[in-house]
Structure 1
Amino acid sequence: MTSPKAGKRKHSTFGGPVSPPPLRRKVQSTTTQTAVASFFTPTSQKPPEKIIWQERAPSDDTPSTLLVGKYIAADDSASTTKAGDSKRNKIAAFDFDSTLIQTSSGKRFASDSADWKWWHPSVPGRLRKLYLEEGYRVVVVSNQAGLTLKPDSKAPKSLQTKVDSFKAKVSAVFNQLDLPISIYAATAKDIYRKPRPGMWTEILDDYDLQPSEVDFEHSIFVGDAGGRHAEAGRPKDFSCSDRNFAENIGIKFYSPEEYFLDEAPKPFTRTFEPSEYLPDSTAKAIASFTRKNDQDLVIFCGSPGSGKSTFYWKMLQPLGYVRINQDILKTREKCLKVAEEYLREGKSVAVDNTNADSDVRTPVPVCEHNDAVRAFNKSMNPEKRSILSSVAFRSFTSRYQPPKLSEGFEDIIEIAFKVRRL
């Protein structure tokens, strides 16, 4: 998957240092002496803010969806390693929740910005060693779907409160580390969201690193979404997005247990294995597709993102087939009308719709992957289709019925999806 050029820097705000106070009983006041003193301190006498916040967008004409925070350490004299390196080309990237920190309350989601503790006591020391002794650039890369950076005027104030709370929590965590470190938080389902590589592209751009300069052999990504199986009372991972993110970039993946506790790797299952869809003899068979009749009606049947339109543009259009597509014509009735007109004119027609009527031939995760690749690559998306929600794929799965010759088809040809180089 290719990634677009880094989006323009839309907006900057500043977040101040927040130290996580100990959990208090309900009867105690939530106002601290430090907060009172800070309130009455003149601005000119307050210490400089330690985190610079920015909001970024995938492109100039889209809203901001990436929140970036850069922590300025109190003493950055160790910005070069002991060996005197001026440019850190080894990157140690970490997920945030359930990797560096967890809730101190035991809840799944933090109740406020103070509801956190280190995932394990060894975490801060390990991060300091990476930066101060081993010459790594340390960054945090996190999906934060619960945040909205630009809520409209009618949106509840709680949306902005969530952003403020997240910034305060990050400030508290980074204050305890006090190392030059940055966080990248993807808030939307776009090129920035893991496992897509948009945040990695931003990291390289921010630290003025060309891909050829990165030490991929020693760079790492640590995250809890590794597709691990349930075992010994531990639930299975909610996804494999962190492992896939590392795979897309080309760096080593570790779970928090492997990296911080030296545990052995656990069994895992990817949502889909990319190597299974690389070109082989099937791809050659597709390339040799030929017309059998002077006039054909070809009806595609497959999930969104299964490769129907690509098959049409690569195989059928060169053979003179005209295309019927409901995304363009909008209604089923219009599709039927236009198809009938083409057939009366003696043209061969390809109906490029899902045509679902409960087993899907191309797995849903593959189709979701293909949909994202199409949406974020202009050369593969001439019709400028936006990314689909997961509902579109689940809906097709529930409605699908395999076609039968008894319906009147001359042939039913099943084509397995394979990656095709452009």
Structure 2
Amino acid sequence: MIKTRIPHARTHIRFIISREYRKIRFAYVTMPSPKAAEAKPSAKRKNDSISPPPLLKRKAQSSISKNAVANFFTPTSQKSKERTNWSERAPDDDTPATLLVARYKPENAEGPEQRRRRKIAAFDLDSTLITTASGKTHANDPNDWKWWDSSVPTKLRQLYTEDDYRVVILSNQAGLTLHPDPKSKAPKNLGKDRLANFKQKCSAVLTKLDLPTAIYAATGKDIYRKPRPGMWRALCEDYNISEADVDLENSIFVGDAGGRTAQLKKGESGSATVKDFSCSDRNFAHNVGITYKTPEEFFLCEKPREFTRDFDLANHPYPEHGEDGTGDIIFEKKTKQEIVLFCGPPGGGKSTFYWKYLKPLGYERVNQDTLKTRAKCFKATGDLLNGGHSVAIDNTNPDPDGRAEWIKFAEKHKVPIRCVWFKASQELCEHNAAVRALNKPLNPEAREALPKIAFSGFFSRFKEPKVKEGFGDVVEVEFKFRGTEAEYAIWGRYWN
């Protein structure tokens, strides 16, 4: 039994902690003052028999844990230090931070590591290094985790201590928000709680692993999100090694998003492994130029499974015809003054086509993204026609009803109208839009990223344009990359 007295006037507080540290009791004990002890005893008053009042005699139990009490009595010099250091990064100076970084330093590695490791072993986090202990798909409890396989920590330590690898963790965490929008109607504490839980879980994982390593968590849909290369660039910068100096041939990325197709298990009727939710991890490894493996292949030595990509760059190699790939397109201006109506999805190559082929022929451009309303597009087109110009209508125009308005407009101004139909899949258009939004050299008009509904909305309304609608002709343009080799080096990566 430990007893501590805290003097306060004539009343002392006794702090009592049982040996088992299970209960903490506060008791008020009335002590006589020194003068009163020396004085002769006098007759007691009735109120003297009650000290303190009955209400204060109740025992108060505390939920303080044994570890907390032990830590209270541990000298500061003997307390363990926090080994995980947290920081944030922003994709540019005008954007809030979206990349969360946890750097871990073991207790026996106080000084900075001088040697730069050229081989990098990078891993996804969830469903690759760890999984939920409860069996839930997503855990709300930061303690609800276990190693994906018992071999994981041993294998990672071997990579670092024996094989001379830099071991890092790269994870997409779109459910986290580092800087919530003050105008958002979502509960204010929800984002804070999720972030705190994630940090607690990561600290526990890093402590168990106990290696000089780091976790990079991409919380936004920007350059840091896999398969985009932002996290790779960040880790190279943090560890003071240029991307050109990395031993790409021997480096590796391990993650569960490999685009694997569903597969029946042998010998088990009706049993199947489900397909992967995406191919982002495999595509990330492709972008960086390193080997990719699934957790089953890397930790369990299983054979690779079949996989597929919704959008495959192998189907879009750099064109061999012409230095900039423009040799296969011939567009002729047929009359002195005319309207050319574009029909195609966002990201289908309409604006690029205008600048490369129609602008040199003297066509002026009308674009609703710039003018904002359809009415303003009609007015601008009328003004240009009155000035003697030919005009290209750079809008999507997916359905016959919308195109009919432009056909009537052309008839009113007594000029012919032609249609250029841009043929491209939704996946290809989403790729093009992402490339444009995330790479300033290919985005002269500073276009922003488009939501998925912008693409699905077009394809749900799209009807193939026909000459019988009233067009002089319909020119079909199959999408091909048309640009320089340097531009293809950017375009020819996975961005979604």
TM-score by length of 1: 0.87
| Structure 2 contact 350–422 (Cα < 8 Å) conserved | no
Map of 2:469 onto structure 1: 407
Map of 1:70 onto structure 2: 103
Map of 2:116 onto structure 1: 87
Q: Secondary structure at the match of 1:355?
A: coil
Q: Do the aligned partners of residues 306 and 41 (structure 1) sit closer, same or farther apart at CA in structure 2, a change above 3 Å counting?
A: farther
Map of 1:378 onto structure 2: 440
Q: Secondary structure at the match of 1:374?
A: helix
Cα displacement (A) at 1:298: 1.5
Q: Do the aligned partners of residues 331 and 44 (structure 1) sit closer, same or farther apart at CA in structure 2, a change above 3 Å counting?
A: farther
Q: Distance in 2 between matches of 1:400 and 1:39?
A: 69
The superposition leaves residues 193-221 of structure 1 with CA deviations (integer Å, 9 ceiling, x where unpaired) of 11110111101110111122110000111
Q: Do the aligned partners of residues 52 and 303 (structure 1) sit closer, same or farther apart at CA in structure 2, a change above 3 Å counting?
A: same
Q: Distance in 1 between matches of 2:72 and 2:182?
A: 29
Q: Distance in 1 between matches of 2:472 and 2:104?
A: 65
The letter of the residue matching 1:127 is L
Q: Distance in 2 between matches of 1:31 and 1:242?
A: 44
2:336 to 290, 294, 299: 294
Cα displacement (A) at 1:125: 0.7
Q: Do the aligned partners of residues 294 and 261 (structure 1) sit closer, same or farther apart at CA in structure 2, a change above 3 Å counting?
A: same
The superposition leaves residues 161-197 of structure 1 with CA deviations (integer Å, 9 ceiling, x where unpaired) of 1011001000111111000111111111111111110
Segment drifting more, 336-345 vs 279-288: 279-288
Cα displacement (A) at 1:35: 4.5
Q: Does 1:142 align with 2:167?
A: no
1:217 to 215, 231, 249: 249
The letter of the residue matching 2:243 is P
Structure 1 residues 254-403: aligned runs within 5 Å: 254-278=293-317, 279-281=319-321, 283-357=325-399, 361-403=423-465
- Let me know the Cα RMSD of the aligned residues: 2.4
Segment drifting more, 274-283 vs 238-247: 274-283
Map of 1:175 onto structure 2: 207
Cα displacement (A) at 1:104: 0.8
The superposition leaves residues 51-82 of structure 1 with CA deviations (integer Å, 9 ceiling, x where unpaired) of 111111001111111001101112238987xx
| Structure 1 contact 277–417 (Cα < 8 Å) conserved | no
Map of 1:58 onto structure 2: 91
Q: Do the aligned partners of residues 147 and 39 (structure 1) sit closer, same or farther apart at CA in structure 2, a change above 3 Å counting?
A: farther
1:237 to 276, 281, 287: 276
Instruction: Please list every run of 5 or more consecutive structure 2 residues that lacks an aligned counterpart in the other structure.
Output: 1-61, 265-271, 401-420, 488-496
Cα displacement (A) at 1:314: 1.7
Q: Distance in 1 between matches of 2:392 and 2:471?
A: 14
Q: Do the aligned partners of residues 120 and 343 (structure 1) sit closer, same or farther apart at CA in structure 2, a change above 3 Å counting?
A: same
Aligned identity (percent) is: 55
Q: Secondary structure at the match of 2:141?
A: coil
Q: Do the aligned partners of residues 42 and 350 (structure 1) sit closer, same or farther apart at CA in structure 2, a change above 3 Å counting?
A: farther
| Structure 2 contact 342–422 (Cα < 8 Å) conserved | no
Q: Distance in 2 between matches of 1:318 and 1:326?
A: 21
Q: Distance in 1 between matches of 2:68 and 2:377?
A: 65
Map of 1:3 onto structure 2: none
Q: Distance in 1 between matches of 2:333 and 2:72?
A: 78
Cα displacement (A) at 1:288: 3.7
Q: Secondary structure at the match of 1:350?
A: strand
Q: Distance in 1 between matches of 2:394 and 2:255?
A: 39
Q: Do the aligned partners of residues 338 and 39 (structure 1) sit closer, same or farther apart at CA in structure 2, a change above 3 Å counting?
A: farther
Map of 1:33 onto structure 2: 66
| Structure 2 contact 422–477 (Cα < 8 Å) conserved | no
The superposition leaves residues 398-421 of structure 1 with CA deviations (integer Å, 9 ceiling, x where unpaired) of 111111111111221222222222
Q: Distance in 1 between matches of 2:83 and 2:301?
A: 33
The superposition leaves residues 234-276 of structure 1 with CA deviations (integer Å, 9 ceiling, x where unpaired) of 1111111111111011111101111111111111101211132
**Which structure shows the bigger proportion of residues in strand conformation?**
2
Instruction: Please list every run of 5 or more consecutive structure 1 residues that lacks an aligned counterpart in the other structure.
Output: 1-28
Map of 2:232 onto structure 1: 200
Larger radius of gyration: 2
Q: Do the aligned partners of residues 274 and 344 (structure 1) sit closer, same or farther apart at CA in structure 2, a change above 3 Å counting?
A: same
Q: Distance in 1 between matches of 2:72 and 2:331?
A: 74
Cα displacement (A) at 1:86: 2.2
Q: Distance in 2 between matches of 1:43 and 1:352?
A: 69
Q: Do the aligned partners of residues 39 and 361 (structure 1) sit closer, same or farther apart at CA in structure 2, a change above 3 Å counting?
A: farther
The letter of the residue matching 1:355 is N
Cα displacement (A) at 1:39: 6.5
Q: Distance in 2 between matches of 1:235 and 1:30?
A: 45
